[in-house]
Amino acid sequence: MSEKIQFVERQQLKEKPDPKDLGFGEHFTDYMLSFQYDADKGWHDLKIVPYGSIEISPAAQALHYGQAVFEGLKAYKHDGEVDLFRPSQNFKRINNSLERLEMPKVDEELLLEGLKQLVDVERDWVPEGDGQSLYIRPFVFATEGVLGVRPAKSYQMLIILSPSGNYYGGESLTPTKIYVEDEYVRAVRGGVGFAKVAGNYAASLKSQTNAAEEGYDQVLWLDGVERKYIEEVGSMNIFFVENGKIVTPELNGSILPGITRKTVIELAQKLGYEVETRHVSIDELFEAYDKGELTEVFGTGTAAVISPVGKLKYEDREIVINNNETGEITQKLYDNYVGIQSGKLDDPEGWRVVVPRYE
């Protein structure tokens, strides 16, 4: 087993929130993992420290030029153990994001070890209720205080933890209403759409507000050039069931390569479904709907896991999918996915990674 990393203990532990009222990303645990980068030292000072405010230079480059990336994953508790779900995928992806923003890459194995030690310290914070989990948010931002536009020479990485509730607030899946954005775009090929970059979300908020004003939950983005091909939803990748086949847009550089997307594709294939990854135009989708061939639509992402789509609005037309009910394939994928995550089903692929008990 690896060496224990430095641990700075806090004076007093916080009071834990009511497990019946967790929400998403509202409560934070007692500790966080901190890692520092300076050009002359490289990454250094990996340690577990009390969760709390940090001091930052008003000239920190992240605040001005947006050198900031993040990740999101979850830990689950079952049978007295705590598991992470495919955590190596997240550290691999954060390095792709860091590389794109000309930020220094991190040691994936060292950080996974650091995360395990952090979650071990915080295992009492991992909620156990149905659909509940400990949401894990690693992020890196430029801290150097100079206003010249160039890659910063110092960075901070933090991993913070938030006990979170069932995204749906209940047992069953509730279909969402989606607005197809035909004016603004999220990303273009050659840009930063494939990277989990903070600014991608800043660019999406105006559309999100517009959609919410019209009564829709989320935005579906079209490609940035022709505004014709389907890319993804706010923080989810998108899937369609057409003629019994599962179809999802292929990764093209402007779509975020979701780990839930990848896992759902692997799971669907194992369950015997045919999965196609290819260009899907919005016109094709509406034509398939008119022919009765579009039977299900769902989104995938760490926060919501698998989320059925009940309504889709594009220009002047709204279509209702599967009577605004969760489809059979969506439900089956959800049950299998959540079953593996929560330890109720076998995990032949080794997606669950047990957090060891360090003494």
Can residue 196 be called a binding residue for ligand PLP (CB under 6 A)?
yes
| Cβ-contact 254, 227 below 8 angstroms | no
Q: Tell me, residue by residue from 246 to 265, as one string, x for binding to ligand PLP by CB under 6 A and - for no binding.
A: ----------x-xxxx----
Contact residue for ligand PLP among 127, 301, 308, 327 (CB under 6 A): 301
Q: How far is the CB of 256 from ligand PLP (least distance, A)?
A: 4
Q: Which is nearer to ligand PLP, 256 or 321 (CB)?
A: 256
The nearest distance, CB 136 to ligand PLP, in angstroms, is 11
Which of 302, 307, 341, 342 forms a contact with ligand PLP (CB under 6 A)?
A: 302
Residues of span 311-340 touching ligand PLP by CB under 6 A: none
232 touches ligand PLP (CB under 6 A): yes
Q: Give me the least distance between CB of 273 and ligand PLP, in Å please.
A: 19
Smallest separation (angstroms) from ligand PLP to the CB of 260: 3
Q: How far is the CB of 265 from ligand PLP (least distance, A)?
A: 11
CB of 90 to ligand PLP, least distance (A): 7
**Least distance CB 191 / ligand PLP (angstroms):** 12
Binding flag, residue 236, ligand PLP (CB under 6 A): yes
Stretch that binds ligand PLP, among 13-21, 124-132, 297-305, 345-353 (CB under 6 A): 297-305
Residue 84 bridge partners (DSSP): 75, 353
Distances in whole angstroms, Cα of residue 328 to Cα of each of 58, 66, 173, 261: 52, 42, 12, 18
Q: What are the φ and ψ backbone dihedral angles of 340, each rounded to 5 degrees? A: -70, -45
The whole-angstrom separation of Cα 6 and Cα 18 is 30
CA 37 vs. chain centroid, Å, equals: 24
Q: State whether residue 227 is helix, strand or coil.
A: coil
Comparing CB distances to ligand PLP, the nearer of 295 and 300 is 300
**Is 237 one of the binding residues for ligand PLP (CB under 6 A)?**
yes
Provide the 10 A C-beta neighbour count for residue 357.
9
CA 202 – CA 7 distance, rounded (Å)? 34
Extended beta strands in the chain, E state: 6-7, 31-38, 42-50, 68-70, 73-78, 81-85, 133-142, 154-164, 176-180, 218-222, 230-233, 237-242, 245-249, 275-278, 294-301, 305-314, 317-320, 352-354
d(CA 87, CA 259): 10
Q: Please give the residue ranges that form the binding site for ligand PLP (CB under 6 A).
A: 72, 196, 232, 235-237, 256, 258-261, 300-302
